[in-house]
Structure 1
Amino acid sequence: MRPTVRRLTLLLALSTATLTAAHAQQKLKYPKPNADEIYDAVAKPAVPTTGLQGYADYLEKNQKYPAAAIQNGQEGTVEVTFVVEKSGGVSDVQVKNAVAPLLDAEAIRLIKGGPKWVPAENKGQKVRQRVTVPVSFMLPLGAGGPAPKVRPDEDGAAENKPAGPTVVKADQPARPVGGTDAFFEWIQKNQKYPALARKKNIQGKVMVEFMVQPDGSLTDVKLVKRLGAGLDEEALRLIKAAPKWEPATYQGKPVRQKMVLPVLFTLL
């Protein structure tokens, strides 16, 4: 074979090998994503369908601050981690940093019951992504604190009086008959949404303070945080008409205790 022909043949072979290698490299560069893979960082992250502000509003308006957590002065930010599926739903909801069992459980409930998400995308395809959302619990001014402080009367009965040398903590804090969930269910069932608030599309939480008396009745009801448009008056009516509670006790005898609870108003 002449040198020119041999050189041409060699160049053709090298060119073919180069094109084949480039084609193979291109295939390796864009593999199909694993359908079950969970991404932490993606080209287009998942976002709530309501937008970030809308999602924050959902968390605030639908939060049910556990009565026992308010009573015990528990607050803080619960970080919840979960997977946004390709369908926009959430799965594998877990608490990343525990604050208090009741607050942790409420944070999980909020995330599971929240609006759908726009799924993440990576290389032009929908993928699963792990997301972390902070859920904050903040006590209203003057709410919460340790169990009520009481001291014995001269006749041995316990009553709620200012702290002094003989001040002690109640053995058992006040609680709704049937539990907190039953109490809030009663509130929702008997709630009459004011027409003005409905017309103005006002919703949220009204914080109400009251005293649980030794006989379980709720007295001294007043507002701590207002919403207006008739919602404040309705919150007061509900607490005043609510079923009796199991009072706080000290040495087996009932005592008074101050409580602050949210009354939630949500438009359906």
Structure 2
Amino acid sequence: MKKIFTVLVLLFTATNFWSQRSQIIAYIDMEYILENVPEYMQAQNTLDTKIAKWKNNLDKQERHIEVLKSDLANEKAILTKDLIEEKEEEIEIKQVELRRLESLYFGPNGNMFLVRKQLVKPIQDQVYNAIQSIAARKKYDFVFDKSSELVMLYSNKKYDISELVLSSIDRTRLSEEKKEKINKRSEIPTEDLTERQKDLIEIREEAKDKKVEAIEKRVEENKAKKVAIAEKRADLIKKREEQRKILREKKKRLEKERRGKKENN
């Protein structure tokens, strides 16, 4: 109903404009255009792979939480109050971590948004720039997207400028590739460089190496931190197991003492 209302409003507006002067209208099929831009399909495949990986991580965390809940429900009758609270706290921590990961991956400013912005948006911008350029050159008053939510009750193929947009994108790509080739050809051979130019190149290479070293150092530091956290967690688990063992032994001893008292009585 909402779509029909939108179409009626647009038709009414177009009719209003038509009474003043002739309007030139065109349309594009955005899905068709993007499917025929190789860079977009590569970017979309990369994004889909990352999304599948993130969803898999969340599924693993969720299954682990369900296992912890099930184990607690089965063991609750034989656990002490402290151990029950400890397990409940562990489950709560895992649930908070799961929500944090969900937000990190799929939140408003999460990884999916950032990766899409990095990979897909530049290509979409390229398409929109091509549309605007063609619309300005051909003097179109309106350019509609056939694949959007707007319902097109009829569309004449001669007003479809999708192929024109693709041709414009191809020309831009070829122009950029040509410039890149010219720049490569215009590079000065190493033997023709002056000593000062060679020194500058060497300084830049050293700066790059230092930057790489700094990044590698940060990676190693992060690895060391992760190892330290893992060791700390292992120690905590070991201590918990020891406490549980002590509690079990204490429980057995108390049970044995109670049975001994009953036999004496």
Relative to the length of structure 2, the TM-score reads 0.22
Task: Compare the two structures and name the one with the higher strand fraction.
Answer: 1
Task: Compare the two structures and name the one with the higher helix fraction.
Answer: 2
Relative to the length of structure 1, the TM-score reads 0.22
Q: Which structure has the larger Rg over C-alpha atoms?
A: 2
Looking at both structures, which has the greater relative contact order when contacts are Cα pairs under 8 Å and sequence separation is at least 6? 2
